[in-house]
Amino acid sequence: MFLRFYVSNFMSFRDEVEFNICSRALSKRTRNMFTGNLKVPLLKAAAVYGANGSSKSNFIKRYIFSTMWWYWEIWKSAR
């Protein structure tokens, strides 16, 4: 699982964009956070939203590509 995901120089992304599920809440509300045994609380849910043509699909394609690449590297090193 990726906690932070950065995209830049891919399809329609020229500048760097960050998708982060680490909670930055300053309040004591933990209802929407998962803490577990982690040092950093995580959000229970995250979403990618925006207007039509705002590169949501390209962001998901890059996420899938990165995930597949990561699994491929693990598979190669395990052989």
Average pLDDT, the chain: 77
pLDDT of residue 27: 55
Please provide residue 77's backbone torsions phi and psi, each rounded to the nearest 5 degrees.
-75, -20
Residue 73 in this model has a pLDDT that exceeds 80: yes
CA distance 42 to 23: 5
Of the two residues 68 and 32, the one the predictor is more confident about is 68
CA distance 36 to 4: 18
- Could you tell me what percent of the chain has a pLDDT over 70? 87
Give Cβ neighbours of residue 31 (< 8 Å, ≥ 6 apart): none
